[in-house]
Amino acid sequence: MTNKGQSLVVFVLLLPVIFILITLVWELGNLSYTQSKYESEIKNTIKYGLKHLDDPEIELKLKNLLDSNIEGEKTINITNDEIKINVKNEYKTIYRAFFKNKLDIDITFTGSIINGQIIIKKE
């Protein structure tokens, strides 16, 4: 067998491994982007809610804001001066069988006004 043939065999054998690694990097990057987007939308929604706490329909407005920007199951809890938002979403990927539920998105933020400043914390 010539060196050309050996190189071709090695390339063909490594091609599926290369493909799997590229798709894994793609999926993890996409998951990271999605989580970042969700966190940003939740923070913006909490900021809006804290600025409009006196509005009697604030919970409905916050739900509509979240519904228009992100998917998943959303829970909004509003107390006197605090807003807590939790978003859960099943992240679908071709590697789901390997990672079980570790790729699901579950994000919770709590925002409040302390000394006139908006404080938002991730839980």
Q: Where are the domains of the chain?
A: 3-122
pLDDT digits 0-9 by tens, 7-33 = 888 889 999 999 989 988 998 898 899
Residue 59's Cβ-count burial label (10 Å; 0-12, 13-18, 19+) is: middle
pLDDT of residue 87: 96
pLDDT at 31: 87
Tens digits of per-residue pLDDT, 27-85? 889 889 999 999 999 999 999 999 999 889 999 999 999 999 999 999 999 988 899 99
Alpha-carbon torsion 18, 21, 27, 28, what sign? negative
